[in-house]
Each structure stands twice: as C-alpha cells, then as structure tokens.
C-alpha cells in the first residue's frame, strides 16, 4: 500500500533521512522503532507532505505522491495521527470527528465502528476536546483520522503519556483494524512491548537510516530491545 524508495531529507546542512526504503503492506502493522532524534517524526512529516522530500520517491498504491500536497494525500486515503494528538481543544468531540470528514461528501457520517472501538467518544460527543483526559484525546485523534475511511493509517507514538488501560484499548483497536484487511498501518513507537505485540513487520532507525528490519514475531530473537537500549 505504501512504498518508500531511497528517501532523503535535509535540514540545513544536516542529512536527516538517509536513503530510506521500505514497504507498508495492506492488512499488516509495520512498526518503526528508534530512540529520540533518529528522524522518525521527520520521516512521517515527509510521508504526509508537510516537508518536501529532497530525493527518492513515495508511492501510495499505484500513485506517485512524492510531490503531492498534504490535502491530496489525505484525500487519496492516508490518515495521520500526529505525536501529541493535536485535536482542536475548543471544538466538541463531535466537531473534531466531523473535521475528519472534510475530504468526504457533505452527506458523509462518522463511521459507527469508531464508537464501537472507543465507546467513550459516543458518551462525550458534546464535551470539548480540551476537557478530555490525555488518553481520551488520543482516542479522539485516532477516531478523527479514521473518519474518512483511510487505506493507510499512520500513528506517531500513540502511547505517549497515556494511562495503561487506554493503551490496551488502543492496542485492541489497531489489531482489529489490521485484521480487517481494509488498511495498512504504520506505527511509530518507542514503547517496545506495545510495538512488539502489534508488529507484523518491524523497522529500526538509527541516525536517519534503517539498520534492522524483520518479522514482528522475531523481534526478541533479533535483539531489537537490546539495540534500542544501546
């Protein structure tokens, strides 16, 4: 569903992303791990068109989206949950979810499965987003990204600052989305156990490069945890 080939990115004179190549297949969770500062968030911003790629290519399905603007990528079927959630705090839960439908026809409604995955959102439709807990805001951010029915869901550290009970809810939701076969998922995460529990495939980044990759079931045997601790 997503194919990245020889992707390079610079900030000033610093070479941030160094020839990245990887695939994110349909119906699978591809987990990207790495310590702070290795380029994970820069990669996601490049994938979403928030910063232009300096070299290389990004294909989504059969489309070359390397130079496409962000709104075109969303319209094509990419959902993005940014680090820090970035919901609209002064809008209600209902209004935040409706913002996710901006690329859909005016008659489009928020899919019922979002409320099946995150029942608390149904209970708090009239509450302002800023009044929710951090975990509830994360559920709202994921729901907003899912509202238009994406074919690829990108999540940037969804467990950051979240209480354990809601981490379990998010884990169940991601697993259900992947097992449905309806979308590909790229999960960027530092919480090793969470990443391992969900990964069909894994990638490890260091200094802007992918230094390890493999099957999620082999992460322990491959020494991924130890590599991240170095």
Cα gap 91→113, rounded to integer Å: 22
62 alpha-carbon distance from chain centroid:
20
pTM given for the model: 0.94
Give the pLDDT band of residue 50 (cuts 50, 70, 90): very high
Average pLDDT, the chain: 94
- Please count the other Cβ atoms lying within 10 Å of the Cβ belonging to residue 142: 25
Q: Walk me through the domains of the chain, giving residue ranges and CATH numbers.
A: 2-87+150-229 (3.40.50.300)
Cα gap 53→27, rounded to integer Å: 26
Q: Best-predicted range by mean pLDDT among 5-14, 23-32, 97-106?
A: 23-32
- Please count the other Cβ atoms lying within 10 Å of the Cβ belonging to residue 52: 11
pLDDT tens digits, 16-43: 999 999 999 999 999 999 998 899 989 9
User: Which DSSP string corresponds to 176-189?
Assistant: HHHHTTS-EEEEEE
């Amino acid at each position: 569903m997503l194919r990245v080939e020889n992707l390079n990115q610079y900030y000033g004179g610093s070479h941030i992303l160094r020839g990245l190549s990887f695939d994110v297949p349909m119906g699978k969770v591809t987990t990207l791990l790495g310590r702070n500062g290795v380029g994970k968030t820069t990669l996601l911003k490049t994938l979403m068109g928030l910063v232009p790629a300096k070299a290389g290519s990004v294909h989504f399905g059969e489309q070359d989206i390397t130079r496409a603007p962000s709104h075109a990528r969303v319209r094509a079927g990419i959902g993005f949950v940014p680090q820090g959630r970035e919901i609209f705090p002064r809008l209600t839960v209902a209004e935040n979810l409706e913002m996710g439908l901006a690329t859909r026809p005016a008659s489009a409604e928020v899919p019922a499965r979002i409320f099946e995955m995150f029942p608390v959102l149904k209970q708090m439709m009239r509450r302002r987003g800023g009044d929710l807990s951090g975990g509830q805001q994360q559920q709202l951010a994921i729901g907003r990204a899912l509202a238009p029915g994406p074919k690829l869901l990108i999540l940037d550290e969804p467990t950051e600052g979240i209480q354990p009970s809601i981490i379990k809810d998010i884990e169940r939701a991601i697993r259900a989305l992947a097992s449905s076969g309806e979308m590909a998922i790229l999960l960027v995460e530092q919480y090793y156990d969470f990443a391992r529990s969900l990964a069909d495939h894994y990638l490890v980044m260091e200094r802007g490069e992918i230094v390890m990759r493999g099957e999620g079931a082999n992460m322990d045997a491959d020494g991924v945890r130890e590599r991240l601790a170095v």
